[in-house]
Structure 1
Amino acid sequence: MNHQELGIKILELVGGEENVQSVIHCMTRLRFNLRDNNKVKRSELENLDGVMGTNISGSQFQIIIGNDVPKVYKEIIKNSNLNEDSNNGEKSGGRNVISAIFDVISGVFTPILPAIAGAGMIKGILAILSTFGWLDPASQTYIILNAIGDGAFYFLPILLAVSSARKFGSNPYIAATIAAAILHPTLTALFSAGEPVKFIGLPVIAAVYSSTVIPIILAIWIASHVEKFVDKFTHNSLKLIVVPTLTILFVVPVTLMTVGPLGVVFGDYLSSGLSFLFSDYGFIAMVLLAGTFSLIIMTGMHYALVPIMINNLTVKGIDYLMPAMFLANMGQAGAAFAVFLKSKNKKFKSLSLTVSITALMGITEPAMYGVNVRLKKPFAGALLGAAVGGLYYAFTGVAAYILGGSAGLPGVTSFIGPTFVHALIGLAVAFFAATIISYLLGFEDIPEENKEEMKADVAANLPVAEGDSVLISPVKGEVVKLSEVSDPTFSSEVMGEGIAIRPHDGKIVSPVNGVVTTLFRTKHAIGITSEEGAEILIHVGIDTVKLEGKHFEALIQQGDSVVVGQPLLEVDIDAIKQEGFDTVTPVIITNTTSFTKVDKTNLATVTHKDVLLRLEAENLNKSAV
């Protein structure tokens, strides 16, 4: 499935465009705010080729894609009326306060992560050049490079203002103007002079807003309400002038006198509290945080910690949360590497190595969902390996000093400082500890599907006369004459001759070697063309098209080559019965006229090893497939 097909299919399975309030993406996930999460066909989404898993965090529905998420996101926007700048309608209610806060933080910080990551990487490279004496900090080159790397952080309130405005549904340019005002050098100089400051007789609390996080988010939240209020009572002919003027005039002074200083104070206390926790209880804190950080990543809430990391670096100059994230990623990489070493499945072995390398680079979802969570025990090994790395970091006092580009090997510049060497050693400890633990814990390997062996195994039990074509039963169950099927389309044989089976279980396998020529969107029916040219329709149940794919799981895709006995569908037969549908499954030869004879089994019940139909045709086109 290409990116366009995947994007269109995802939009369909989340309930359609009309169910989407907004959609953004981070490094690996599509993040949907939906009107009704119950409309999502989650199992079908998770079975799409290109989707690694799904998750609900608060009220946000997340789809894990991996490195291709920007391309899939682009196709969703391109093939819908959704856009990056505004919500598709109002928010639905029903969320608790904590979920709403996390949703806001995630929505505000996700769009600006590329800018922060790029600027952080530049600062890291500059730190290396300076540390090794390759660039003089007093040189003009250093000063220019430092401005390039530091610009995004110094003017972070402006970036946050734009993304906050988009999240709150207000004008991003008015928001940027508010941020620019509180960062104006004249105001900064006024607050730094040490003298009391007043505005129209009211006291203004001096504070420095460069690189801050909380004040501007609070300010733009207020601005969004003010802007909407003023807009509501302003005539259309005056909106262009009146709305921005009154919004800016009200919000900037209020920010300087109230929410701005409160946000700065809150940030200071938050940073001091974390410093106290890690300085006095660092042994326990780092081990627990590193060992459980992958669980935080699974919920997608690790982005909610980004503002805390930035605040720690700007207030105290060090951060302990980021090192834990690094260790968690190394643990996932090590566990996937253990699977690579131990798995006997060549395809899965290759996948494990690939996602291990990706996790080392800081993108862990492919390793986490594609390998470790899937096998279960390696995921436990990843958590334990990260905790071992946390133990080493706790003893050596490792901290981050720069916000790097990623929590992987390219972002190790984050650790440039007094504990840099110990930081690198700790990453290796987490990786190899996770590898060893996962290897020793073991796992139930993914069996390697050998189609040639499967074909030979079935063929050995099916003596076929020259010129004949046989179909094994795709379903275990009770044989039913086609004339006894309740649907006249089948019973009248207008679609072709065949036979039906009343299933004993929901495993549907291929009756022949051939190609899947049709897979219905609802998965209730499959068309296969055999190597001998027989065109076969397997229709699971009567009128089951009305289930819209519910209770059906496709194990193949249209266009796939299949061999006799290969699983095609997993069907919840009991659930279909409870829905009131007849589960009898016709197997029809739709090109019956191409054959001189269609022999049907005399067995009362059949298994996947029994011949269901035998076809004879003197002029059969054997090059049809």
Structure 2
Amino acid sequence: MDYPQTARTIIELLGGADNINSVFHCITRLRFDLKDNEKVQRAQLEQLDGVMGINLSGDQFQVIIGSKVTQVCHAIQAELPDTAAAQATEQPAAEHKRRNPVSVALEIISGIFSPIIPAIAGAGILKGLLSLCLSFGWVASSNQTFQIMTAIGDGVFYFMPMVLAFSAGNKFGANPYLSVALAAILFHPTLTTLFKSGTPVEFLGLGVSAVSYASSVIPIILSVWLLSFVERQINRVMPNALKTMFTPLLSLLIVAPVMLIFIGPAGISVGNNLSSGIIWLVDNMGPLAGILVGGTLSLMIITGMHYVLVPIIINNITKLGYDPIKILMFAANFGQAGAAFGVFLRSRNKKTKSLALSTSFTALMGVTEPAMYGVNIRFKKPFAAALIGGACGGCFGSTMGVKTYAYALSGLPGLPALVGPTFDWALVSMAIAFGVAAVLTVVMGFEEKPENSAPAQPAEAPAVAAAVPTPAAVSSSAEAELLAGISPVAISKNEQLFAPIDGQLAQLSELSDPVFADEVFGKGMAIVPLKGELLSPIDGNVGSVFATNHAITLESASGAEVLIHIGIDTVKLNGRHFTRHVEDGQQVKVGDPLISFDLDALIAANIDPSVIVIVTNTDHYGAISQLKQGAVASREAFLQLTATTA
């Protein structure tokens, strides 16, 4: 890579030097503070050699480079000496820059609901299958096995406040276990008995509304937010020796009554009004609502706004027994799948055809990012076709009053959630979305480069389509290499990675950062840590420790290249709360200390502390599989790297 030329091109595509306030980098990406994000020539930037993708996080514009990010950043700073000189003083100030309230709200909603999606999706599919068995008369509702299976499927929804409490506690920086304790109050038998007695309930002379909190969403989120504030204020004045005992005690005594008297009833009212508003919208503007939501939902997914719908959908299902807008998510996803399939039919490039077919199937399974970012947005017209397909499918589904009876992935695995009187119409609406998008893609066509051509230079590229003002990134390193025509180098020895820290395992897809969630740099796992001691997961060498000590690369003796990143956006801490114990090139064994960090400080700063472990040369292996579920202890094998030819 010609770093100076790449730097000059990136500056030009970002709107020129005058549009750049500051730039710094983390271990994988350039992070720009721009005067005007709309001046960025996104399409040309994505096509630039050496750029793996782009991402807009809040007001920060990110250019994903990978292992060469340091060299590219230095080259950019050489082109912008004033920016480089001001770096040390501007970066801390940027931490306190006022953020867009909408971006903050979307980030909060995404951060709370992303981690719980697997639980509610799995339970939702089970509920759909049970409904299917009941509808076809394969089992009676009085059957005890059926009733136990119903409890398995309903459990997470009934105790939704407790699930959300833990997730919201992590997001807001409250103690997650104290957050769960707060939610447990809502289900205590004494309280539920009081509410069912029919007599007025009072606490210190103040009335307590007798409402049911089962399956509720809004009350506990607001209550945990208040808990995080109260906890921080108490910790500021409480002596360290007394914090363990008295901070939780005082926090519960302050927040619980406020939750029961004010926040809870208000939250239930807001949730019910939202559900009523959605039902009114569908009843009175059915076809139009389907067109608007079904046609724009993919844009909402790109920006993260679709998470706003998740609590509404869950509230509808739990309060009404069904939801009328989930079908629009199915339609949007099938539209993306259809457009990618249309690219497969129309393309003459073997690599593009292979990528389009595989991502079309992935989208049908309910995961649209590979098709959307890797194919449809890349070629522009297919993305427009996908939006039109989603609008057509959504219009039909809303017109026919399709209902969803459980929360599940919006793809083929989630079909049981649609089983009911409108199931046939649901299938038709999805077929319409897929078919319209595929046909339009084939008819409209798209521009693709010849099989062996190099990426177009910015000066020759066409203007960016204004219809796609959102970030896109190749969804995995495998697809990045496929698009670039790179042949993976096979590794012939199996290997296991050992957990670098005690904690709870989580999928990369659950992370709020789309670059990690979409596996841009490879496959791996995240671990929600229980303490702040990062240990080596391999026998091998340290590649490099990032300057701010929040990330490290390693290479094992058998060739596995591993990236470990502590927390989301921890680069903004500028090294605070992190201490390295190794240096570049140092040999390490499994269990050797790498980095120490202050976990409590990260949580107090409202930072997701997840430790992200990624195999950056994923495509050199035949498979990477998970060995553990749930809790994991440090030095315990948790990832299996299977050789291409063992």
TM-score (norm 2): 0.58
Shift of the alpha carbon at 1:317? 2.2
Matched with 1:223 is 227
Matched with 1:420 is 423
What is the aligned counterpart of 2:271 among 260, 267, 272? 267
Rounded Cα–Cα distance in structure 1 between residues aligned with 2:64 and 2:358: 17
Provide the aligned length of Structure 1 versus Structure 2.
403
Q: How does 1:339-358 map to 2 (within 5 A)?
A: 339-358=343-362
Matched residue SS, 2:202? strand
Shift of the alpha carbon at 1:330? 0.5
Decide whether the 8 Å contact of 2:381 with 2:444 is kept in 1: yes
TM-superposition CA deviations, 1:11-34 (whole Å, max 9, x none): xx98227999xxxxxxxxxxxxx8
> What RMSD in Å do the two structures reach over aligned CA positions?
3.2
Matched with 2:55 is 55
Decide whether the 8 Å contact of 2:289 with 2:395 is kept in 1: no
Matched, 1:239 2:249: no
Rounded Cα–Cα distance in structure 2 between residues aligned with 1:116 and 1:402: 9
TM-superposition CA deviations, 1:295-345 (whole Å, max 9, x none): 111212212321111112122222232111110111111111111111111
Matched, 1:321 2:325: yes
Rounded Cα–Cα distance in structure 1 between residues aligned with 2:51 and 2:142: 50
Opposite residue 268 of structure 1, the aligned amino acid is N
Q: How does 1:506-585 map to 2 (within 5 A)?
A: none
Decide whether the 8 Å contact of 1:326 with 1:408 is kept in 2: yes
Q: How does 1:129-144 map to 2 (within 5 A)?
A: 129-144=133-148
Matched with 1:187 is 191
What is the aligned counterpart of 1:284 among 280, 285, 288? 288
Shift of the alpha carbon at 1:55? 3.1
Rounded Cα–Cα distance in structure 2 between residues aligned with 1:386 and 1:231: 50
Rounded Cα–Cα distance in structure 1 between residues aligned with 2:124 and 2:94: 35
Residues 171/44 of structure 1: CA separation in 2 closer, same or farther (3 Å cut): farther
Residues 427/179 of structure 1: CA separation in 2 closer, same or farther (3 Å cut): same
TM-superposition CA deviations, 1:429-467 (whole Å, max 9, x none): 11111111111111123311289xxxxxxxxxxxxxxxx
Matched, 1:385 2:395: no
Decide whether the 8 Å contact of 2:128 with 2:405 is kept in 1: no
TM-superposition CA deviations, 1:510-530 (whole Å, max 9, x none): xxxxx9xxxxxxxxxxxxxxx
Rounded Cα–Cα distance in structure 1 between residues aligned with 2:156 and 2:434: 32
Rounded Cα–Cα distance in structure 1 between residues aligned with 2:179 and 2:267: 17
TM-superposition CA deviations, 1:124-183 (whole Å, max 9, x none): 121122222222221111111111111111111111111111111111111110001112
Rounded Cα–Cα distance in structure 2 between residues aligned with 1:223 and 1:120: 30
Opposite residue 16 of structure 1, the aligned amino acid is C
Worse-superposed segment, 46-55 or 375-384: 46-55
Residues 59/407 of structure 1: CA separation in 2 closer, same or farther (3 Å cut): farther
Matched with 2:442 is 439
TM-superposition CA deviations, 1:50-77 (whole Å, max 9, x none): 9974332544778999xxxxxxxxxxxx
Matched with 2:451 is 448
Rounded Cα–Cα distance in structure 2 between residues aligned with 1:197 and 1:187: 9
**Which protein is bigger by CA-based radius of gyration?**
1
Residues 93/210 of structure 1: CA separation in 2 closer, same or farther (3 Å cut): farther
TM-superposition CA deviations, 1:567-617 (whole Å, max 9, x none): xxxxxxxxxxxxxxxxxxxxxxxxxxxxxxxxxxxxxxxxxxxxxxxxxxx
Identity of aligned residues (%): 50
Shift of the alpha carbon at 1:113? 1.2
Rounded Cα–Cα distance in structure 2 between residues aligned with 1:112 and 1:37: 34
Opposite residue 438 of structure 1, the aligned amino acid is T
Rounded Cα–Cα distance in structure 1 between residues aligned with 2:138 and 2:155: 22
Decide whether the 8 Å contact of 2:227 with 2:255 is kept in 1: yes
Rounded Cα–Cα distance in structure 2 between residues aligned with 1:151 and 1:407: 21
Decide whether the 8 Å contact of 2:129 with 2:417 is kept in 1: no
Residues 61/214 of structure 1: CA separation in 2 closer, same or farther (3 Å cut): farther
Matched residue SS, 2:25? coil
Rounded Cα–Cα distance in structure 2 between residues aligned with 1:96 and 1:383: 27
Residues 216/306 of structure 1: CA separation in 2 closer, same or farther (3 Å cut): same
Matched, 1:409 2:416: no
Shift of the alpha carbon at 1:199? 0.7
Rounded Cα–Cα distance in structure 1 between residues aligned with 2:423 and 2:60: 37
Rounded Cα–Cα distance in structure 2 between residues aligned with 1:328 and 1:322: 10
Matched residue SS, 1:281? helix
Shift of the alpha carbon at 1:387? 1.5
Matched, 1:372 2:382: no
Opposite residue 426 of structure 1, the aligned amino acid is S
Rounded Cα–Cα distance in structure 1 between residues aligned with 2:26 and 2:406: 42
Decide whether the 8 Å contact of 1:338 with 1:438 is kept in 2: yes
Decide whether the 8 Å contact of 1:334 with 1:434 is kept in 2: yes
What is the aligned counterpart of 1:206 among 192, 210, 217? 210
Matched residue SS, 1:244? helix
Shift of the alpha carbon at 1:194? 2.1
Residues 149/169 of structure 1: CA separation in 2 closer, same or farther (3 Å cut): same
Residues 259/91 of structure 1: CA separation in 2 closer, same or farther (3 Å cut): farther
Rounded Cα–Cα distance in structure 2 between residues aligned with 1:19 and 1:357: 29
Decide whether the 8 Å contact of 1:35 with 1:92 is kept in 2: no
Shift of the alpha carbon at 1:394? 2.7
Shift of the alpha carbon at 1:403? 0.7
Matched with 2:179 is 175
Matched residue SS, 2:282? helix
Decide whether the 8 Å contact of 2:32 with 2:60 is kept in 1: no
Rounded Cα–Cα distance in structure 1 between residues aligned with 2:357 and 2:225: 45
Decide whether the 8 Å contact of 1:52 with 1:369 is kept in 2: no
TM-superposition CA deviations, 1:96-149 (whole Å, max 9, x none): 322221111111111111111111121112112222222222111111111111
TM-score (norm 1): 0.60
Rounded Cα–Cα distance in structure 1 between residues aligned with 2:51 and 2:190: 51
Decide whether the 8 Å contact of 1:313 with 1:402 is kept in 2: yes
Shift of the alpha carbon at 1:379? 1.1
Matched residue SS, 1:347? helix
Matched with 1:398 is 402
Decide whether the 8 Å contact of 1:52 with 1:370 is kept in 2: no
Matched with 2:26 is 16
Residues 224/50 of structure 1: CA separation in 2 closer, same or farther (3 Å cut): farther
Decide whether the 8 Å contact of 1:402 with 1:416 is kept in 2: no
Rounded Cα–Cα distance in structure 2 between residues aligned with 1:145 and 1:272: 30
Decide whether the 8 Å contact of 2:32 with 2:62 is kept in 1: no
Matched with 1:543 is none
Residues 178/279 of structure 1: CA separation in 2 closer, same or farther (3 Å cut): same
Rounded Cα–Cα distance in structure 1 between residues aligned with 2:61 and 2:154: 34
Rounded Cα–Cα distance in structure 1 between residues aligned with 2:60 and 2:332: 23
Decide whether the 8 Å contact of 1:348 with 1:446 is kept in 2: no
Rounded Cα–Cα distance in structure 1 between residues aligned with 2:404 and 2:236: 47
Opposite residue 246 of structure 1, the aligned amino acid is L
Matched with 2:110 is 106
Runs of 5+ unmatched residues, structure 2: 1-22, 66-91, 455-486, 488-646
Matched, 1:254 2:258: yes
TM-superposition CA deviations, 1:218-265 (whole Å, max 9, x none): 000111111111111111111111100010111111100001100000
Shift of the alpha carbon at 1:45? 9.9
Matched with 1:429 is 432
Shift of the alpha carbon at 1:36? 6.3
Rounded Cα–Cα distance in structure 2 between residues aligned with 1:281 and 1:43: 36
Decide whether the 8 Å contact of 1:60 with 1:103 is kept in 2: no
Opposite residue 26 of structure 2, the aligned amino acid is G
Residues 256/403 of structure 1: CA separation in 2 closer, same or farther (3 Å cut): same
Rounded Cα–Cα distance in structure 1 between residues aligned with 2:368 and 2:280: 30
